[in-house]
Amino acid sequence: MRRVSGSPPGSHEKFLGLEEFVDERERLVGELERRVKSAEKLALSHSLDHKILCRISRRQPSALSLSEHEIVFEIETSTYLKSPVNVGDYLAAVNCANLQLVLLEIVSVQRADILSIVGREAPITVAPPDPSGLATPVLVAARPLTAFDYDERSGGFKEVPRPVVLPLEPQSPIFRPKPELVAKLLGLPDEGVVVGCLLTSSLLPLAEIPVKIPLKAFLQHVLIVGSTGSGKTTFIKNMVAALVAGKDYRVESGMKPTPVIFDATGEYVQLVLPPPKWERPDLDLEEEERIREGIYAGIEPPNEIVVLLPITKEELEKILNCIREAARGITGGELARKVAEKLAKDYVDEVLLKLLGENIERLEVEKVDTVEMEESTVRILETSLKIRISSREICVRVVPLALEFARAKRDLHELSPDFSTQARHFLPRIIRVLEEDIIGREFRSLEEFAASVDEKRNVLMNRYKIHRGTLDNISRCTWALVDTGIFDVSIPAGEVSISIGEPSDYGALLSSAKGIPVVVDLHRVSDAEYIIVHRLLRQIFRWKYDAYERREPTHQVIIIIDEAHRYFPSAGFGERDSLELLARQLTTIARLGRMRGLSLVFSTHLPDDVHRVILQLSNTKIAFRSEPQYLERVGIPPEYRERLANAPDRVAIIRSHIFRSHYAPVKTTPPLVGHYDLSAITLMRTSARGGSGGGS
Ligand SMILES: Nc1ncnc2c1ncn2[C@@H]1O[C@H](COP(=O)(O)OP(=O)(O)OP(=O)(O)O)[C@@H](O)[C@H]1O
Ligand SMILES: [Mg+2]
């Protein structure tokens, strides 16, 4: 006999009769039955294969405590053999108690022969094999991760991930959840740039679950690390292709972001090319194709690209000489246009056409922009080339780039890490006194300025009290800058000079490239790459800063710096405190840039090689295969370190506040766009040529 539940304790206790007890029991069982049925119905409607896989074990208690989070269930051998469950896989259950939908992660799978369960005989001999002994249920343990509450009104679930605070009732149905349900339960961002498919904690791909980085998260900057060949560049290229395709994020119309890539190796212009065949012996092609179809459907190489191409004085001279030889008598604007064409065509030939061989159907110059400047100078602005490859029309806009003393003099002291602290301090003043007081006019070139520093050395020392050592440093560093050949690229050609400079308006250039990748191809100017990266970074930042001050809306610009250690090293670099200066500048750009829609993505092989501020500034870190100690440096938790240290190519862990669990293992496919090893191809061609030469 039991007290009627709900009646107050004390003298008025009323006891149930047997019949009432049976009735109540029946009611309870009826209610339980209803809940089990509802749970089953819900499970079936959210199951990937419309099947219940198994139920929470009746044989073991199901307990949840603050320290223990494991539940156990058994799967029929036949079901298991048809479709095994793996450690790390996600399953889901509907709790019969409250109809909560619970996401489960498998933590262990146990197989036991019948002998280990019922074997009572003393182990005197080895038991002979008996396949029927294997017909035992598979014992699985799983960890409840998060849950959706049942919504009585809609008869579905409230799609807000909640912690699991009740044990799953024994007999609750377990099923394989639909991929989109897993994504929602895990709280993965539902919009953003697709960067790969989700992996289980055992690093098995879930080909239909995209991992997206919201555009907003890029504003808190990203660091990518991974040893050589682990897949950083492939990852970036695939990410840029997804960014340009823009189908997984929302953005105000006409405000698609521009990815700007600083490219030390000349690989990124290949973005517009078709991808290479995926044919490495270690590839599971079926799996890679499933990922491509699952998350990258419709993503193609971009049809347009802007290349900012640094041109040195020497190179312009070479081109000019070639043209003069080929077409004597051409002068003025016509000559400048020819130079512009040749410069663009030679470049496209080197970095694209050579890779494709016969596949090019057509190459033509669509447009050449030049402008007449003062003092009979013609400036080359941009050349658009149209290329047709396998019936795709691609536009490559080549924008030649050089620096001008007149425009860069304000920042000159920041363009070389070798200026001493004193030199950096005095340089703007020295330029001013030389131009205004001593020479009386503005310098036309960096070379003129360098020569003037040497020539007026005594005046600067005696009248302006500039220290000898400071002048020595300024002279040495300025001449080194001159030697890069990237300043004041202007060459007389008959009645005009042909010149190359900086874009007159970076904002206008980048605004003309919304949703179009901009590549700063540095592979031919290794002496000047540092200067160019810092100058451009600063100029883009300035445009953003000024527009913000004027309250003009600008579109998001995502600056990607592959091989970032070349430009933001951690040590062994320049004058004593130039690293600190660099760090301060970068911090300003990163902090203020955030509000103004400027994002930075750094990629490097070792986190220790880039300046430590980069680690601090990047809220999202993406780690590919690396030594465990480097993974620790970027905050990858111990349980992932060992696995990631031995992970295959293109597998990474993303550590970011954008994920509820702070981590997401991802994998991207082999390149979705052109990705060819320029040096290997050049080598191949050279050796092929060498071979035939030897035979003739
Ligand atoms: N066409 C292809 N098919 C299949 N796999 C490819 C293809 N091209 C490259 N890969 C694979 O992608 C891997 C990653 O190459 P990727 O250039 O992205 O590496 P990385 O991390 O940028 O290296 P590095 O530090 O040398 O620049 C390579 O090791 C290679 O195995
Ligand atoms: Mg690379």
- Number of C-beta neighbours around residue 632 at 10 A: 15
- What's the burial of 364, exposed, middle or buried (CB within 10 Å: 0-12/13-18/19+)? exposed
Residue 235 CA, ligand 1 centroid: distance in Å: 9
Q: Where are the alpha helices (DSSP H) in 83-231?
A: 114-118, 179-185, 215-218
Residue 650 CA, ligand 1 centroid: distance in Å: 8
User: Helices then strands (H, E): number in the chain?
Assistant: 22, 23
pLDDT tens digits for range 508-521: 999 999 999 999 99
Find all residues with CB under 8 Å of 562, minimum gap 6, and list them: 232, 233, 236, 261, 262, 263, 264, 265, 268, 603
Atom of ligand 1 nearest to the CA of 230: 21
Taking the C-alpha atoms of 405, 409, 412 and 413 in order, what is their torsion angle to the nearest 10 degrees?
150
Atom of ligand 1 nearest to the CA of 605: 25
Two tokens at 526? 């290794």
pLDDT tens digits for range 477-492: 999 999 999 999 999 9
Name the more confident of 582 and 284. Answer: 284
pLDDT tens digits for range 368-387: 776 776 778 899 999 999 98
Taking a 5 Å cut-off on Cβ, the residues next to ion ligand 2 are: 233
pLDDT band at 119 (very low <50, low <70, confident <90, very high): low
- How high is the pLDDT of residue 391? 80
8 Å CB contact between 555 and 540? no
Evaluate if residue 539 carries a pLDDT over 70.
Answer: yes
- How high is the pLDDT of residue 46? 95
What is the number of the ligand closest to the CA of 235? 1
Identity (one letter) of the amino acid at 223?
Answer: L
Does residue 232 have its Cβ closer than 6 Å to ligand 1?
Answer: yes
Element (H, E) at 638: helix 638-645
Find all residues with CB under 8 Å of 428, minimum gap 6, and list them: 409, 410, 412, 413
Taking the C-alpha atoms of 307, 313, 315 and 316 in order, what is their torsion angle to the nearest 10 degrees?
80
Residue of 233, 667, 668 to mutate, ligand 1, most atoms within 8 A of C-beta: 233
Nearest CA among 431, 412, 425 for reference residue 467: 425
What is the number of the ligand closest to the CA of 237? 1
Helix-helix angle 529-549:578-595, to 10 degrees? 40
Evaluate if residue 684 carries a pLDDT over 60.
Answer: no
Residues 514-539, buried b or exposed e (16+ Cβ, 10 A)?
A: bbbbbbbbbbbbeebbbbbbbbbbbb
pLDDT tens digits for range 53-105: 999 999 888 888 888 788 999 999 999 999 889 999 999 999 999 999 999 99
Cα distances (Å, whole numbers) of residue 97 to 39, 166, 200: 9, 9, 28
Atom of ligand 1 nearest to the CA of 228: 25
DSSP code at position 352: I
Distance (Å, whole) CA 399 – CA 309? 6
- How high is the pLDDT of residue 2? 47
Residue 59 CA, ligand 2 centroid: distance in Å: 54
Cα distances (Å, whole numbers) of residue 570 to 77, 565, 573, 618, 627: 56, 7, 8, 16, 18
- How high is the pLDDT of residue 4? 47
Evaluate if residue 106 carries a pLDDT over 70.
Answer: yes
Average pLDDT over residues 560-578: 86
Does residue 226 have its Cβ closer than 6 Å to ligand 1?
Answer: yes
- How high is the pLDDT of residue 66? 84
Cα distances (Å, whole numbers) of residue 264 to 88, 302, 560, 565, 635: 39, 21, 11, 11, 27
Strands 193-199 and 205-213: antiparallel
What integer best gives the mean pLDDT of the chain?
Answer: 90
pLDDT tens digits for range 153-209: 998 999 999 999 999 999 999 999 999 999 999 999 999 999 999 999 989 999 999
Average pLDDT over residues 124-144: 89
What is the number of the ligand closest to the CA of 605? 1
- How high is the pLDDT of residue 690? 38
pLDDT band at 329 (very low <50, low <70, confident <90, very high): confident
Distance (Å, whole) CA 337 – CA 369? 8
Distance (Å, whole) CA 7 – CA 5? 6
Evaluate if residue 551 carries a pLDDT over 80.
Answer: yes
Evaluate if residue 23 carries a pLDDT over 70.
Answer: yes
Of 58-67, 253-262, 355-364, 370-379, least confident by mean pLDDT is 355-364
Domains of the chain and CATH, by start: 18-116+131-185 (no CATH), 193-302+517-681 (3.40.50.300), 311-393+488-505 (no CATH), 405-485 (no CATH)
- How high is the pLDDT of residue 359? 61
Strands 193-199 and 90-94: unpaired
Average pLDDT over residues 250-275: 95
HEC letters along 191-249: CCEEEEEEECCCCCEEEEEEEEECHHHHCCCEEEECCCCCCHHHHHHHHHHHHHHCCCC
What is the number of the ligand closest to the CA of 675? 1
Helix-helix angle 468-483:421-432, to 10 degrees? 80
The most confident of 253-257, 303-307, 318-322, by mean pLDDT: 303-307
Place of tokens 């080598």: 683
Does residue 228 have its Cβ closer than 6 Å to ligand 1?
Answer: yes
Evaluate if residue 692 carries a pLDDT over 50.
Answer: no
- How high is the pLDDT of residue 639? 87
Of all protein residues, whose CA lies closest to atom 7 belonging to ligand 1?
670
- How high is the pLDDT of residue 520? 98
Evaluate if residue 364 carries a pLDDT over 80.
Answer: no
Place of tokens 């480097």: 630
Of 172-176, 579-583, 620-624, least confident by mean pLDDT is 579-583
Name the more confident of 64 and 233. Answer: 233
Residue 111 CA, ligand 2 centroid: distance in Å: 43
Does residue 234 have its Cβ closer than 6 Å to ligand 1?
Answer: yes
pLDDT band at 326 (very low <50, low <70, confident <90, very high): confident
Of 64-68, 174-178, 434-438, 620-624, least confident by mean pLDDT is 64-68
N-to-C CA span, the chain: 108
Does residue 670 have its Cβ closer than 6 Å to ligand 1?
Answer: yes
Atom of ligand 1 nearest to the CA of 280: 4
- How high is the pLDDT of residue 121? 64
